[in-house]
Structure 1
């Protein structure tokens, strides 16, 4: 993983497919966790982030784990 600071408040992150797939898994596990505050603002922030993850990363992560499963089954 590599992170590069861009313009103020923005960071560009480059990740391998495995890192992205792991990030997606961790996001969904964290969202189901009791450790996230139940305050409305916290829940809205988490839900917005999960929506972004779902729209931008989920499909690629799912493909990675499917390919990994096929290669370990062979």
Structure 2
């Protein structure tokens, strides 16, 4: 999970020109986003083990590629 938190912190820092707190990101991932992503089957998530694994999904990957292209046009 540490790698996910570090990656999210880097993205937030790049987008907002400030680095968010690691504790905040971990809390939001563990208590909000992790359970939701697990419920819809995009990740396997275990709060006790602090474990998260993404399962590639072609529809999600395609949507993210479109979003990336749209952001480049802004």
TM-score (norm 2): 0.28
> For the pair shown, which has the larger CA radius of gyration, 1 or 2?
1
Which of the pair has the greater relative contact order for Cα pairs under 8 Å at 6+ separation?
1
TM-score (norm 1): 0.28
